Amino acid sequence: MVAKITDGRGVTVSSAPIKVVVGNPKKVYFVTADPGPLTFIGDQAVYDHLSNRGFNVIAARGSDVPDDGSTALGTDLIIQSSSLGSGTVESTDVPAIGKFKNLAIPAIEWEASNLDAFGFQEANGAPGTFTGSQIKIVDATSPLAAGLPAGATTVVTSDQTFSEADSPVGTAPAPHIVAVNPSDDGQKLIFYYLKGEKGFGDFVMPEKRIFFFFQDNTAAAANDNGWKLFDAAVDFALGTTNNTGGGTPPSASISVSGNSLTINSSGGGTVQSADALSSATVWKDIGAAPQTIQMTAKQGFFRIKK
């Protein structure tokens, strides 16, 4: 939001943009090649998009995650990027398994070399990626189709690298397929398993598991359709269609008096501030809502955390 103040002479001054997040946002554990700051423009685009929707995004590096994935406990959704090395999110067991495979936390991933680690397939297929600008929606009735029609759909502003998964390898049951490569129906671009459904080797999925077509930097070129599909995947994984980070937030009120901005929430909580939004954002407690803040020319971000 932007606060505007008009003095007795009719002179109006606008503040720098102020972002306020109300309620208790869902926590997204975003696993990439970096501990933060993010170095892949695709990862940064995903981070910014989720943050702008109101999610509390926790950046993590694959190589820092223990074999049991326990650093993800307490979060609401795991998103695993392809920017990391596939081996960094696989255990040291023989055979190796995905660090997040057994966690009862919904997960979205687009690393084609971790298909076996999640129990989707017996082995990773080939080629794992292709270059283009379109996907082919084959199940327009699925909530993961985001209301887009069946057939070819442009999802990026220019040709990009997409992650893909080939038809089930070994005896893995077929997942719910939503979109495929426009040139090869055997290559899946969006698919999912529900909690309790079986993957390869009768592995029972502990929660929803979604494969998505993004690759290292694809998200940086996503168009409206691309983001609609991504948001649909996130919302489906969380079991919500809310666009503010999940759940119905309490109402907020923001008022301006002179050079002061007062932030309040009907649900209480702690007002927090930050100087900028990035993968390394540190939120500082100001105090229990309501809080009155003196506006300056410096940009600031605020949220209410319960």
Residue 198 sits in which domain range?
26-238
For residues 152 and 123, state if they share a domain: yes
* Residue 182 located in a structural domain: yes
Spell out the residues 6+ positions from residue 240 whose beta carbon is closer than 8 angstroms to its own: 246, 247
Cα separation, 292 vs 62, in Å, equals 40
The SS3 of residue 271 is: strand
- pLDDT attached to residue 247: 44
Written as one string, the DSSP assignment of 21-55 is E-S-PPEEEEEES-SSS---HHHHHHHHHHHHTT-
Q: Between the CA of residue 47 and those of 58, 133, 141, 268, 277, what are the distances in Å?
A: 9, 22, 28, 27, 10
- pLDDT attached to residue 109: 97
For residues 102 and 116, state if they share a domain: yes
For residues 140 and 168, the model is more confident at 140
pLDDT digits (tens, 9 = 90+) for 82-120: 999 999 999 876 566 899 999 999 999 999 999 999 999
Packing angle of the helix pair 224-238, 41-52 (nearest 10 deg): 60
- Report the predicted TM-score, pTM, of the whole model to 2 decimal places: 0.75
Q: How confident is the model at residue 227 (pLDDT cuts 50, 70, 90)?
A: very high
Boundary (domain end) residue, out of 238, 263, 290: 238
For residues 231 and 290, state if they share a domain: no
DSSP summary character for residue 122: S
Spell out the residues 6+ positions from residue 172 whose beta carbon is closer than 8 angstroms to its own: 119, 120, 121, 122, 199, 200, 201
Answer yes or no: are the C-beta atoms of 155 and 180 closer than 8 Å. Answer: no
Peptide bond into 127 cis (omega under 30): yes
For residues 287 and 234, state if they share a domain: no
* Confidence check: pLDDT of 64 > 60: yes
Which token pair is 186? 């055997």
The SS3 of residue 232 is: helix
* Residue 92 located in a structural domain: yes
- Range list of H helices, the chain: 41-52, 224-238
CB atoms closer than 10 angstroms to residue 297: 7
For residues 154 and 260, state if they share a domain: no
Q: Scanning the structure block, which residue is given the tokens 């990027």?
A: 81
CB atoms closer than 10 angstroms to residue 272: 18
* Confidence check: pLDDT of 15 > 80: no
- pLDDT attached to residue 250: 54
Boundary (domain end) residue, out of 219, 238, 257: 238
pLDDT, average across residues 144-151:
97
* Confidence check: pLDDT of 42 > 90: yes
* Confidence check: pLDDT of 133 > 70: yes
For residues 162 and 270, state if they share a domain: no
* Residue 296 located in a structural domain: yes
* Residue 244 located in a structural domain: no
Number of domains into which the chain is organized: 2
Q: How confident is the model at residue 305 (pLDDT cuts 50, 70, 90)?
A: confident
pLDDT digits (tens, 9 = 90+) for 238-280: 997 544 444 444 567 788 888 888 888 766 778 888 887 776 7
Boundary (domain end) residue, out of 217, 238, 259: 238
For residues 16 and 31, state if they share a domain: no
Average pLDDT, the chain: 86
* Residue 243 located in a structural domain: no
- HSE-CB of 136 using CA atoms within 13 angstroms: 12
Q: How confident is the model at residue 122 (pLDDT cuts 50, 70, 90)?
A: confident
* Residue 129 located in a structural domain: yes
For residues 160 and 263, state if they share a domain: no
pLDDT, average across residues 149-161:
98
For the ranges 90-94, 124-128, 146-150, which has the lowest average pLDDT?
A: 90-94
Residues comprising the chain, all counted:
306
Q: Give the dihedral sign, CA 45/51/55/58.
A: positive
For residues 8 and 30, state if they share a domain: no
pLDDT digits (tens, 9 = 90+) for 159-180: 999 999 986 655 567 799 999 9
- pLDDT attached to residue 21: 55
β-bridge partners, 188: 165, 180
For residues 231 and 98, state if they share a domain: yes
Q: What share of the chain is helix, strand, coil (3-state, %, to 5)?
A: 15, 35, 50
Q: Scanning the structure block, which residue is given the tokens 């008009």?
A: 6
pLDDT digits (tens, 9 = 90+) for 190-212: 999 999 999 988 899 999 999 99
For residues 197 and 5, the model is more confident at 197
CATH number assigned to the domain comprising residue 232 = 3.40.50.880
* Residue 173 located in a structural domain: yes
In 134-194, at which residue ranges do the beta strands (DSSP E only) sit? Answer: 134-137, 151-154, 160-163, 176-181, 184-193
